[in-house]
Amino acid sequence: MRLSFLLDQNIQEFGEYPFLYYGEKKFTNVETRAYANQLAIELQRSGIKKGDRVIVMMPNSPEVLIAYQAITRAQAVIVPVLFTLHPKEIAYIAENCEAARILSSSSIQGQVNQIEKELSTNIPIVMIDDLSDLTSPSVRVEENDGMHVPDFNDDEVAVILYTSGTTGSPKGVMLTHRNLYKNAVNSSVHANVERGSTIGALPLAHVFGLTISHACYVTGSSIVIFPRFIPSEIFSAIERYQVKSFSVVPAMIYAMMASNDAERFDLTSLESVSSGSAPLPVSLLQAFEKKFGASVYEGYGLSEASPIVTAHKKGIPIKPGSVGIPIPGVELKVVDTTGQEVPRGVIGEIVLRGEHITPGYFQNERESEKAIVQGWLHTGDIGQMDDEGYLYIVDRKKDLIIKNGFNIYPRDLEEVLSRHKAVIETAVIGVPDEQSGEEVMACVVKKPNEEVTEEELIAYCAEQIAKNKLPKHIVFLSELPRNGVGKVLKASLRKSIAEGKV
């Protein structure tokens, strides 16, 4: 079940075929493995040992997937990192996971330079700009060399995915080879995915994009990779490669709906899109289906579950507002505050167990024990199931904000704002936004005799956190609403904003 076996089995089952498309470039599955094997040997020769953590931080490109395969073939651990994070955040991740190497690209040289300034330890950074840079002339292996690992254990950690925690520091979600391998196979079987070409516009450093690439190995599909989501380019690829389905986040659906370019292309091959990572308004779902004549399959997942938990699929009714039914390998129930399962239709916390579930957080036993109780992962998400087993997400227990498919934890921003000299206290909440799913809003109480503007506070935050985490709006209040024990009532804030009282 090693991740490298996904590609080896792909070649054995489907033979050689065009696997990766990027602009006018094309790479077969056999070429992908040959480059990955060569890079794996080079990593080992440079000192990378079994279990070492290797960060991959670059825009979407074939090199990302080749690097992932190379790292696992070198028996190291993949640490995907979004290059759009703030340099301070990336430096924290690199040092927390004790990274032995960072693989990046000169296309983001400025960002890399800033990260180097933030690092307190010397971590070698290797730039990979195209496939010719992946290997030195002295390193060559046979393309059919699967690099067999005799002492391999399915439950070894394959990937560490960092997700912001409510404590303000990112947590490293450990995922094993078994976790990721089984999720790729089971989600593909559940969705009955047909072989063909799909769009790879989701960030490959994000768990959603990562699992889509794994599924393509299983189904024998090709991936048309894009470094960014531009609707006209997506439409062109759908027409050129006769794409039947691909995965999106709601912001991408909104962008496709807002674009005036769709009519210039033949999009009749498109049968469906799978949407996840953020709530999708039912009105937007229905408008998309009407405009493009394609079904929208909503699903639910999280990094700790490798990530897919539930999904709609062909052959079962689509229930707008639902995220489908559990995929094979996932046991799901909704429980009350005592951990007892609640009847269908009753709201409670979603808990999971099965072969996809993380063994815990990297070097964070305390958070691991809080999240996994008696074998059940407590997601912190609130939902309910109907009589037919369809899951509905109701709320996020930990006030998680999901913007454009990415998780934003209010505590991260609250800690930054609280350090400003003019701020006495703050509460950050998510407010509905049709384009991005949710937008970030900060409610701030200023210190007496201190003055600061909304623009000044946003600029202050931009110096310390990633752009996607910045508040779109800041409102100033004389005090924050609290309950009897002094806890800030964020639900009350959201209600006041929705009613126009703030």
Distance CA 266, CA 16 (A): 28
Coil vs helix vs strand at 423: strand
Count CB neighbours of 267 within 10 A. 18
Q: What's the pTM?
A: 0.83
pLDDT at 486: 47
- Please name each of the domains of the chain with its CATH number: 401-498 (3.30.300.30)
The closest alpha carbon to 210, from 65, 309, 75, 90, belongs to 65
- Tell me the H-state helices in 273-409: 282-292, 365-371
Count CB neighbours of 343 within 10 A. 10
| Residue 329 Ramachandran class (φ > 0 left, ψ -120 to 50 alpha, else beta) | left
pLDDT at 151: 65
* Residue 168, C-beta contacts closer than 8 angstroms, at least 6 positions apart: 409, 411, 412, 415
pLDDT in tens, the chain (502 residues): 889 999 999 999 999 999 999 999 999 999 999 999 999 999 999 999 999 999 999 999 999 999 999 999 999 999 999 998 889 999 999 999 999 999 999 999 999 999 999 999 999 999 988 766 555 545 555 554 545 555 678 999 999 999 864 345 789 999 999 999 999 999 998 888 889 999 999 999 988 889 889 999 999 999 999 999 999 999 999 999 999 999 998 888 988 998 999 999 999 999 999 998 777 777 788 889 999 999 999 999 999 999 999 999 878 898 988 999 999 999 999 999 899 999 999 988 999 999 999 999 999 999 999 999 999 999 988 889 999 999 998 766 667 788 888 878 777 888 789 889 999 888 899 999 888 889 999 999 998 888 999 999 999 999 999 998 999 999 999 988 875 444 578 888 988 988 887 7
DSSP string, 76-93: -EEEE--TTS-HHHHHHH
Which residue is listed with tokens 């009282």? 501
Which tokens hold the place of 225? 């990779």
* Residue 268, C-beta contacts closer than 8 angstroms, at least 6 positions apart: 293
Which residue is listed with tokens 């709601």? 250
Which tokens hold the place of 113? 């330079």
